Structure 1
């Protein structure tokens, strides 16, 4: 089964995911913790990583089932076809969100253009290219995931 991206009404991501799960459709709504400030207090809340988007795993022929749920608007399309997300990409998001906020990275004087394989953190075993070398950090490009990673230099 493929993973598809479903566009939801604004602020309906969690509700749509719960309702789709209730009718037997596998969903994934990645959540992150955010500190919200009110006039009298601060509170940590969970908000969706992607505003108005959730991922659903469903057979091609059953794709219209998601519209049985209030709040599901449409599928995200790419090149005139519903966008399909690979299992590896879903697992990469899950690994990234479950990783600790701080982790050690061993750095052996990388230079711009070096190809490196990350040995810890949420992107372990991914190949990256060193794009920039600064006094306090490195900028790495993870081409396979289409993202940029900033790694701080730490003296031990």
Structure 2
């Protein structure tokens, strides 16, 4: 399976993902990896409605996603992997999924989070996860849409 892009975005599938990213990357499948979403039929239906008609969708819990990725279940497809949080990504990597580069697109500000960019606010736990991912050799970028310049997330975190 060719994972062509990995994105952390707490909104999962929305307009920017469904149009700009999917078209820019030539995606044939969006794989949402999130335990809660995988167990919520209403949310899965909403994600299906948000997914472009010509793009397949998988909404899987972490363990099942890792199993399918490691078994090459989507060989020949161009897969866009979307996760809600860096913690989920750490779990996926711990399940032997090889991830080299991750784009952080949107982590909504809520009370107790530190705003590090216009569309990204993080908790102390998320900062620890990003540090762990960086130590594992994962390149972390900050980029809202494909036409925006990509920034090094670790540089942005150092300034926060």
Give the alignment's TM-score, normalised by structure 2.
Answer: 0.24
Structure index of larger Rg? 1
Q: Which has the higher helix share?
A: 2
Q: Which has the higher strand share?
A: 1
Give the alignment's TM-score, normalised by structure 1.
Answer: 0.25
Higher relative contact order, chain-length normalized (CA < 8 Å, sep 6+): 2
